[in-house]
Chains A and B, each alone.
Chain A
Amino acid sequence: MRSHLIAALGAACLLLAAPLANAQDKPTDPQIAHIAYSAGLIDIEAAKLALTKTETKAVTEFAQSMQKDHEAVNEQALALVKKLNVTPEDNATSQALAKAAEEKRAELAKLDGAAFDKAYIDNEVAYHKQVNAALETLLIPSAQNAELKGLLETGLKLFQGHQQHAEHVAAELK
């Protein structure tokens, strides 16, 4: 069990997984719901910042798509937790995510023009990679409720799409 967990954590991003390793073996459904919702909120905030900064069409379109998609999936998540009568539970992983995102936002806020576009899109590629790794190796396998697992699986497919979209925009910016 322990080696399995360590392997999963190794594959997932350290940022997401490290606090969980200290706290407990694997997250509960209320914690998973909170982590997934927080991860969405972070990308919505990043998109809002990008929309005030960028003047590049491909980046604007990407940010609009991130904002709308993550809002839609978070609405689905809220509807599901309400239906299941689950209260999302704040936890060390959500807090670590929020802290890292705040630092990243401050860093991005100092940039403008092409430098901003590149830093934002590169971070979107990296961020979606991290979230997808965490979904695949930790959050989806840990989810107990079938509907929550189903929503996370759709989320994974959506975010894998976002990662590829970001990679395409990054290639266009070069």
Chain B
Amino acid sequence: MAMLLDRRCFLALGSAVLAGSRLARAEAGTVHVAIEKLVFIPAEIEVKAGQTIEWTNRDPFAHTATVKGRWEVMIPPGKTATKVAEQSDSVEYYCRFHPNMKGRITVLS
């Protein structure tokens, strides 16, 4: 019994450490944008080149983050999608399916 408890403690500790490190990495590397009721929240973000932008679509509708002629990220309903920001990504983007949804990315040097 004592051994079982020890093992549980060890496992719990191990997963806590893992979760902690994952969170820290997320804070350092990922900028989050939620999509709710056809709005990018926040609409304007600042990132550093190499950081990941993650869109979380809370709508039952498919959305995109589109920069015409450059890139497009598909964000299915209820899902997340990511893009790594490049130095040239100071842009305005929109949803191709609902062009009244607009956002802006500023890449900090």
Whether both chains belong to one complex is answered with yes
Chain A residues in contact with chain B, CB under 8 A?
65, 68-69, 72-73, 75-76, 154, 157-158, 160-162, 164-165, 168
- The answer, among B38, B62, B77, for a CB contact under 8 Å with A154, is B38
The residues of A that contact B99 with a CB separation of less than 8 Å are: 161, 164-165, 168
The residues of A that contact B37 with a CB separation of less than 8 Å are: 154, 157
- Are A69 and B61 in contact, CB atoms less than 8 angstroms apart? yes
Q: A154-B37, A157-B38, A158-B38 are in contact. Are A68 and B61 (CB under 8 A)?
A: yes
B83 at the interface (CB under 8 A from A): no
Q: A65-B97, A72-B77 are in contact. Are A161 and B62 (CB under 8 A)?
A: no
Tell me the bound Cα distance from A72 to B61 in angstroms: 7
Tell me the bound Cα distance from A21 to B37 in angstroms: 32
Please count the residue pairs between chain A and chain B whose beta carbons lie under 8 angstroms apart in the complex.
41
Q: A72-B77, A154-B37, A154-B38 are in contact. Are A161 and B101 (CB under 8 A)?
A: yes
Pick 8 A–B contacts, CB within 8 A, sort by A. Answer: A68-B62, A73-B61, A154-B38, A158-B38, A158-B98, A161-B97, A161-B101, A165-B97
Chain B residues in contact with chain A, CB under 8 A?
37-38, 60-62, 77, 95-101
Q: Which 10 A-B pairs have the closest CB atoms?
A: A161-B98, A72-B60, A164-B99, A157-B38, A161-B100, A65-B97, A154-B37, A69-B61, A160-B100, A164-B100
- Are A158 and B60 in contact, CB atoms less than 8 angstroms apart? no
Question: Which chain B residue lies CB-closest to A158?
Answer: B38
Q: In the complex, what's the smallest C-beta–C-beta distance from B40 to chain A, in angstroms?
A: 13
The residues of B that contact A165 with a CB separation of less than 8 Å are: 96-99
Q: In the complex, what's the smallest C-beta–C-beta distance from A6 to chain B, in angstroms?
A: 29
Question: Which chain A residue lies CB-closest to B59?
Answer: A72
The residues of A that contact B100 with a CB separation of less than 8 Å are: 157, 160-161, 164
Tell me the bound Cα distance from A64 to B26 in angstroms: 35
The residues of B that contact A162 with a CB separation of less than 8 Å are: 98
Q: In the complex, what's the smallest C-beta–C-beta distance from A87 to chain B, in angstroms?
A: 23
Tell me the bound Cα distance from A34 to B51 in angstroms: 47
Question: Which chain B residue lies CB-closest to A150?
Answer: B37
Question: Which chain A residue lies CB-closest to B39?
Answer: A157
